[in-house]
Structure 1
Amino acid sequence: MTPLSDIGRQTTSPTVGVLLSNLGTPDGTYYWSVRRYLAEFLSDRRVIEAPRLLWLFILNALILTTRPQRKGKDYATIWNRDRNESPLKTITRSQAEKLQQSIRDGLLGETKSNVIVDWGMRYGNPSVKSATERLVAKGCERILFVPFYPQYSAATSATACDKLFDVLASLRNQPALRVAPPYYDEDTYIDAIAGSLTERLFSAGFEPDVIVASFHGMPLSARAAGDPYYVQCHRTADLLRTRLGLPQERLIVTFQSRFGRAEWLKPYTDETIKALAAKGAKRIAVITPGFSADCLETIEEIGQENAKYFFDKGGEAFARIDCLNDSSDGMRVIEAVVRRELSGWV
């Protein structure tokens, strides 16, 4: 045991891992690749809270026979063909690489060679398991886990933690663990979203009649069960309105990507966008503050599918605002979270 008098003389710091994680992606756009991804995703008890045996029958007998082909075609419209991967994978890798470089350049006050950044997906590849094993193999005695979800939900943040806990449960020599909390109301995040929106609208050359803040949906039953996601989404929107000086009717909250027949959080994004155009709105902008990186739900669902809804109903100008991604503003958000959560470790 080290005497207290010698603690201040120690110069060797433990190796610390920073593990970034997002939702996930199929490895390709073909049927079997998308099926594998959807099977893993939709088998998660946190994602689908339904009677198990009934749901597995529906999933395997119905959903996985047709949905992979349809979603594969959607993925094909946004696929990064140079790297043969989805944009989400490309962006998450870049976020990890840029964070590692920022740490080397003195993000934490001085050059830190004992902080290693890696990344893994909750579903698909590269996995949280493989990333954790890499960090442990490199001697990381401590790991900061950063789920890339600004707002907390059991179906996103919690299941990401579940997966990591499962991995750690298999280790005899476990590293110490910290989990970064959601950052839905942090100044750096709100400033970044507001700045990104302002810059994009300036380049688009029009003032929107309405700004739609579209968040990923969830079953209404999840909110009733106590999930804080809905409240946190609205808190983010409230802070954005204040930062931008907009009245409530100029920046509205909607929820997208509903699945199945159950009632989900409302208002629905697609129905709202159709209604806005039908009521005479000619110019709208859509932001997706619940996503840290662009993916199928933002690029294809918002930028293609919902844009078509708007134009078909008489809309004239539609701007999809990119997620923060690995932009300088986006990296400042990630860096702020990491710097705060590593306090006392490095």
Structure 2
Amino acid sequence: MIGPNLIPVGIAGLGSYSPKRILTNWDLEQIVETSDEWIFQRTGIRERRIAEDGEDSGKMGAVAALRALEDAKLSSDRIDLILCATTTPDKPFPTTACHIQNAIGAKNAGGFDINSACSGFVFAFNTAAQFIATGMAKRVLVVGTEKLSTILNYEDRNTCILFGDGAGAMVLSPLDEAGRGEYLGGSIQTEGGKDDVLEVPAGGSTLPTDKRVLEAGLNKMVMGGNRVYRFAVSTFVKLVRQAVEPYGFEQLGRIVPHQVNQRIIESALEKLDLPPETAFSNIHKFGNTSAASVPMAFDEAYREDCLIKGKLACSVAFGAGLSWGHFLVRW
């Protein structure tokens, strides 16, 4: 909850973008040993979107950003700060936030990227809220955008079936201007030393990309089996309880979680003794889009009128690092 002498924060606008190309489970059957039934039973995914060549994270993020600005009824020159959550930036530098700034004409905005994998947007949202609450910025554009298809090994059925591309965005501003989505607080947490749970081993200063790295496929994502599942379920439950219990679960309108895996979401809801419809899910058509999944799901929930006025909406996320966090708003 925002403390005394701090400016209340709200969500002024939402937007999202998904590429046109659809990669179905049947399509994956043609390139890796799997089946539609095997994928759906384990993940709840039927299809995911794949960005075209030249359709990078920055370009997708810019489309989502413009849609969020339109929803907020704001011109881009009124944005003070752009935070871009991505684990697939356009390039090592300059930042993807800079590319988005230029693409949308946000000439008065500063910006930077936040890379915390699937937790990235939640971390960026909480960071943006602090800028507004303290008066350092008045309007902050928060973007989650990913082109995960560029770091997937399409011979590894454990990872390539899960992930897709896309982007989502929110505009945060003082609550008296936004008029909805009152920020009540959140969390940012990490536990290092767990690289083997989920990582891209190469491409940074530890193991720069060279011929050997490319031949070994070390520039692609690898995942440590069902350890992700166990971590995600327990963390989902802990975060929702931490966020909602002070207000009472009767105040909860919707959970809009990171779209990690439908079976994880269902298992967590069962442990929380909540009905399945409590959580908004669109993983069946977009897969796991990492830092883009929360804003994409939140935007769709908003446009489908699934967020309940006056009730709590809680977003939780968890990912590589390990990293996890949440934010809570009253819609």
Normalising by the smaller structure, the TM-score range is: 0.3 to 0.5
**Which has a greater percent of strand?**
2
TM-score (norm 2): 0.35
Higher RCO (CA < 8 A, seq sep 6+):
2
Higher gyration radius (CA): 1
